[in-house]
Structure 1
């Protein structure tokens, strides 16, 4: 497939996008046959994005944010919590009305955010139980005060897991296992794929994986259980979805520019 940059407008103009059933659809990119590969957050609670430094992870994150914003102009339907340990990756999003907190770049604030999110998690379950609704989508069909989807987005998950594992590990696992029912999702990147940085229980509960170029086949195997990410070119990725793929698909990803 042609390796030139592919803008998100191709996704926004596609039949699949125009006929979408909800406003939390994401295209991973195009496969080797030129077909769109779609990820519906209605079916997954999170995405783990791995790869060596400067391989395209942050660009992919920004494509996700741009795609979700395109579908949700109002903060009444979509909210973000953005964690940026590098302190410069999300600057362009600092004025978004969709932010629950100002962009987070300190561990202490990250702890406050995940504790708040856990409380919101419990609050939403209580609401659904009270209204006898199975999930947020059924609740929002009839509710006067609809619940927005919340995306907890982390640029370098390993920093959180290494510095405060007791705070983040169990909360992440809980959200990843059942968060989609209440409209709470986690998207995270990492360039550090060993178990010391990404605990196995956290890794396996990300049912959707995206892997850019890795330094070795071993690093690739830790994320998508397939060693060939080490051979990827710029803009290419491997996509693994627990629900639909037996082995990772090779994809050419988008970029967020609309030029």
Structure 2
């Protein structure tokens, strides 16, 4: 149904696919007027308007999609959106890329907390470090008797940067160290927002052994590209429909 109207809308694909250019989103009013350092470019909506979102409000993002559906392109767009808005003293990134090729292009940028992590066992340690960093930040908030990350930065002499943790393929990590990875991600998802830490988690296998109930419960914001079956769509979105998407970013 169409909001505000007593009518039903039917979306049909255009005869010719129109390319959405990243530059157009960055030049849009929606992106330029957003004050948040964690504004990410999503693309365009069904009527062609530029769509952006604030990662700080999500506060964590779960992405799923079959191979070639546009998942990694979206992650790169989100990373570049943040890099355009924020300097390294505002936002730091922790990248985990078991596929080894997708995030390696960012190796050496000043925003990185650590070189891009490619070994699954090292990734488990990196997530454990992130949990400890979250706990350290909570102690700092407690010391100044403030309740949130933004309140801390308003009164602290030495400001803390946001930390965005990006995991490009969760399935590979779950195969090697599922319990440690699940525990770390769940703790971060439950508590890290108030410490200025946010997670972008992606997988091409949205099965129940990868996206466990504990992980899903703590990621209310989810994006699904085209998936291979109704079961996968229900696993990621709790409803069918993603299997009918057109692919290549839809």
Q: TM (normalized to structure 1)?
A: 0.86
Q: Secondary structure at the match of 1:145?
A: coil
Correspondence 1:216-235 to 2 at 5 A:
216-235=229-248
Contact 2:62 2:222 in 1 (8 A): yes
Contact 2:121 2:177 in 1 (8 A): no
Larger Rg: 2
Contact 1:41 1:180 in 2 (8 A): no
Report the counterpart of residue 15 of structure 1 in structure 2.
Answer: 29
Q: Secondary structure at the match of 1:168?
A: helix
Report the counterpart of residue 127 of structure 1 in structure 2.
Answer: 140
Give the aligned length.
236
Report the counterpart of residue 53 of structure 2 in structure 1.
Answer: 39
User: 1:167-210 CA distances to partner (integer Å, 9 max, x unpaired)?
Assistant: 11122112112212111111111111111122111022111111
Q: Structure 2: 5+ residue runs without aligned partners?
A: 1-13
Contact 2:63 2:222 in 1 (8 A): yes
User: 1:24-80 CA distances to partner (integer Å, 9 max, x unpaired)?
Assistant: 1113221112233332122123111101111111111100100000001x2111111
Correspondence 1:14-163 to 2 at 5 A:
14-72=28-86, 74-163=87-176
User: 1:115-136 CA distances to partner (integer Å, 9 max, x unpaired)?
Assistant: 2111100010011111112211
**What is the CA–CA distance in structure 1 between the aligned matches of 2:114 and 2:220, rounded to whole Å?**
27
**What is the CA–CA distance in structure 2 between the aligned matches of 1:236 and 1:107, rounded to whole Å?**
27
**What is the CA–CA distance in structure 2 between the aligned matches of 1:26 and 1:230, rounded to whole Å?**
25
Contact 1:90 1:103 in 2 (8 A): yes
Q: TM (normalized to structure 2)?
A: 0.89
Q: Secondary structure at the match of 1:153?
A: strand
Q: Structure 1: 5+ residue runs without aligned partners?
A: 238-259
* Greater length-normalized contact order (CA 8 Å, ≥ 6 residues apart): 1
User: 181, 185, 190: which one pairs with 1:172?
Assistant: 185
Contact 1:45 1:185 in 2 (8 A): yes
1:212 aligns with 2:237: no
More strand by share: 1
> Which stretches of structure 1, 4 residues or more, deviate above 4 A after TM superposition?
none
Contact 1:45 1:175 in 2 (8 A): no
Deviation, structure 1 residue 104: 0.8
Instruction: Report which stretch shifted further, 93-102 or 157-166.
Output: 157-166
Instruction: Provide the alpha-carbon RMSD of the alignment.
Output: 1.6
Contact 2:131 2:187 in 1 (8 A): no
